[in-house]
């Protein structure tokens, strides 16, 4: 059975609940500047936030600017990030990115998508995270969690990441858009998980359109009124 799109009213309820649950959502990556966030997000590809934090907690006290990391060189940087997956390629990209930041941006992280995506190792998702989290722009970085939540619930149905991103930007009310990225990631990471979603504990199961949610504990009795 195909999943239906949520209505405007259901989307409003959906985000009101997520906001009530987590009034001040934040990334789980440790950072204290746009530059630290950029590097952490670059390192987080196909790696856990926990593994990245363990590495950057040692790296940043030593080098937390573009010039400082550049001074470490590729081999020096690898010593700090070698516990992270794909660390060889990531080290190369981080050093190249730091060189561009120093040469073209006075060591600062640019605030436009075009300039961010021009950096080695920075794709659309990474750029969106930095624009949203560091600079408060209404962007939506769609990772595996957000892609799953969007399609499963009917919040934003799309065949690919870009379709889901475009749909989310279109349907999410303005009052929620800045924090929506973090709410959706955290909901996907801890509740609407891939194999055994915790529908019985879910605070938005009554507006969710996933047909299988009742098999995972969603309460039929409270669902009817919010789906109409």
What domains appear along the chain, each with residue ranges and CATH number?
8-25+140-216 (1.10.1670.10), 34-135 (1.10.340.30)
The percent of the chain in helix, strand and coil, each rounded to the nearest 5, is: 60, 0, 40
φ/ψ of 189, rounded to 5, equals -75, -35
Q: Which two tokens stand for residue 93?
A: 């990209």
* Catalytic residue ranges: 125, 143
pLDDT in tens, the chain (228 residues): 689 999 999 999 999 999 999 999 999 999 999 999 999 999 999 999 999 999 999 999 999 999 999 999 999 999 999 999 999 999 999 999 999 999 999 999 999 999 999 999 999 999 999 999 999 999 999 999 999 999 999 999 999 999 999 999 999 999 999 999 999 999 999 999 999 999 999 999 999 999 999 999 998 876 655 665
The answer to whether the CB of 40 falls within 8 A of the CB of 58 is no
Residue 228: predicted pLDDT: 56
pLDDT, tens digit (0-9, with 9 covering 90-100), for 137-188 = 999 999 999 999 999 999 999 999 999 999 999 999 999 999 999 999 999 9
Six-digit token string for 215? 């098999």
Mean of the per-residue pLDDT values of the chain: 95
* 202 labelled ligand-binding: yes
Does residue 192 have a known ligand-binding role?
yes
DSSP state of 205: T
Q: Is 191 annotated as a binding residue?
A: no
- Closest residue by Cα to residue 39 from 154, 104, 119, 124: 119
């Amino acid at each position: 059975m195909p999943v239906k799109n949520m209505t405007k009213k259901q989307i409003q309820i959906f985000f009101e609940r997520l906001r009530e649950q987590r009034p001040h959502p934040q990334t789980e990556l440790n950072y204290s500047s746009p530059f630290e966030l950029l590097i952490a997000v670059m390192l987080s590809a196909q790696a856990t936030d926990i593994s990245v934090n363990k590495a950057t907690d040692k790296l940043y006290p030593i080098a937390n600017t573009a010039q400082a990391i550049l001074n470490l060189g590729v081999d020096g940087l690898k010593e700090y990030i070698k516990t992270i997956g794909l660390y060889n390629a990531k080290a190369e990209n981080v050093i190249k990115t730091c060189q561009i930041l120093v040469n073209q941006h006075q060591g600062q992280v640019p605030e436009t998508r075009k300039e961010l995506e021009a950096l080695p190792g920075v794709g659309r998702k990474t750029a969106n995270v930095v624009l949203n989290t560091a600079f408060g722009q209404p962007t939506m970085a769609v990772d595996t969690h957000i892609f799953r939540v969007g399609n499963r619930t009917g919040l934003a149905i799309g065949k690919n990441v870009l379709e889901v991103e475009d749909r989310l930007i279109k349907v999410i009310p303005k009052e929620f858009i800045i924090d929506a990225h973090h709410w959706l990631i955290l909901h996907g990471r801890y509740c609407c998980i891939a194999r055994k979603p915790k529908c019985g504990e879910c605070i938005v199961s009554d507006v969710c359109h996933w047909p299988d949610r009742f098999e995972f504990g969603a309460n039929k009795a409270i669902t009817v009124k919010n789906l109409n």
